[in-house]
Amino acid sequence: MKLTIRIILFIVLIDFVVGFYLLNQDHHLGNTIVGIGVLAFALILMPLFLYYRYRGKKLKDYTLNKDKINQIIDNLNS
C-alpha cells in the first residue's frame, strides 16, 4: 500500500510539472493535464492515503462529544 501511494504521488507530481510546463509554452493541453493531476490527487491519492493512515484506529478517540467538552472545561477551571 505504501509503495502504491508513493508511485501515484510520483505520477501526480510529474503530471503537474508537465502540465505547468505546457501552460508556460502556451500549449492548449496544459490546463487539461493539470486538471487530471488535481482529480487524481483528490479522488485517488487522498482517499488511499487516508485509508492507509487511519486503518485500525478508533475514531471515537478523535471525536469531540459532550463528556470531553465537560472534561476540558473542568481542566480549564482548575
Return the H-helix or E-strand segment holding 31: helix 30-40
Distance CA 48, CA 2 (A): 9
pLDDT, tens digit, 9 for 90 and up, residues 13-71 = 999 999 999 999 988 999 999 999 999 999 999 999 999 988 888 888 778 889 889 99
pLDDT above 80: residue 78? no
Q: Which three cell numbers stand for residue 40?
A: 487524481
Distance CA 35, CA 74 (A): 49
Q: Which residue has the cell 480549564?
A: 76
pLDDT above 90: residue 77? no
Q: Which residue has the cell 508511485?
A: 7
Total-model pTM: 0.70
